[in-house]
Copies of this chain bind each other. A is one copy, B any other.
Amino acid sequence: MIDLRYPTAGAGMALLTAVFTPFDADGGLDLDPVAKQADALQAWGSPAAYIGGTAGEGAALTTDERMALAERWLEVADGRLDVIVHVGHASLGESRRLAGHAERIGARAISAVAPYFHRPGSIGALVDACAAIADAAPTLPFTYYHIPSVTGVNLKASEVLIAARERIPTFAGVKFADNDMVDLQRCLQLAGDSGSEVFVGVAKLILAAWQWGARVAIGSVYNFAGPLFGRLIDHAVRGDLDEARRLQVLAQQVIDTAAAPAGELAGFKALGSVYGVDCGPVRAPLSSVDPEQLAALRAEVTRLGFGAG
């Protein structure tokens, strides 16, 4: 096991950002905004960029684009931020290429979803697949990215965690992106007993996760709503749970509102263009929020009380 812990002052929570990938109007990769993205993370205190994951549209990039993106992030991070590279792919061979590249360029860690076309049918097969990836970057911590609604791999993260920490020398924990709160609780309980970490990936349940002892999250909402979540956790730490709960419900409403016109990612990226760094449209096969929808979205989240400081 390799440690990938983010110490927090007191009982707070480290909020790592699953950053968007910038595209130009034609959907071409645009590396220009990356430096601004890194500045923005540093400005509000996010200690790491998680790149090329779901929010980063990694699966919609070519392998070459993924490598170019990672290289640019390492340049601009320049020691100010950690860069965690998502290397998951339907092909383990491509994953291994990405993992080796991430190690060579100095990434802090790698992470991968389960293979998602031909899918592992058991915990053993899934952990073997993770081991094959981790083994291609033997000096970097490896985190399993659990997101069954996207991958279709419905194996409990807690069972993966138990098997992976035995099997994979560099195993560092689980990025948990699912609504199964019981499985999340088991992961948190198990992680507490070992050196591994649970990276909470469900922004709608972050307060409940914090109450169960979670101390680190990775999410795309921090591209545009980091300060809101920061205040939420601050209130929780100070014992003002009523206000923390109110902010959690507000965050849930903002998320639902953003997702309505064209799905969660397109809505988040649109909000990011207003409340964060503009990273352009989403890439095909996704469809972007159009300008009229974005105006309505801004009006509605403002009405809910978002962005009021």
Q: Is the CB of A245 within 8 A of B186?
A: no
Interface segment, one of A30-38, A58-66, A221-229, A295-303: A58-66
Known A117-B116, A180-B179, A205-B181: A284·B92 in contact at CB below 8 Å: yes
Complex Cα spacing A295 to B89, Å: 34
Complex Cα spacing A284 to B179, Å: 28
Q: Which residues of chain A (39-84) have a CB below 8 Å from chain B?
A: 54, 57, 59-63, 65
Would you give the shortest CB distance from A151 to chain B, in whole angstroms? 8
Q: Is the CB of B63 within 8 A of A63?
A: yes
Complex Cα spacing A191 to B239, Å: 21
Copies in the complex: 4
Query: Is A249 located at the chain interface by the 8 A CB criterion?
Result: yes
Chain B residues in 8 Å Cβ range of A91: 59-62
Chain B residues in 8 Å Cβ range of A122: 287
Interface segment, one of A125-133, A136-144, A271-279: A125-133
Q: List 28 A-B contacts (CB under 8 A).
A: A54-B118, A60-B90, A60-B117, A62-B93, A63-B94, A65-B93, A90-B117, A114-B285, A115-B285, A118-B283, A118-B286, A120-B285, A121-B287, A122-B287, A124-B287, A125-B284, A125-B287, A128-B284, A129-B285, A179-B179, A179-B181, A181-B205, A182-B204, A182-B252, A185-B249, A185-B252, A189-B246, A211-B241
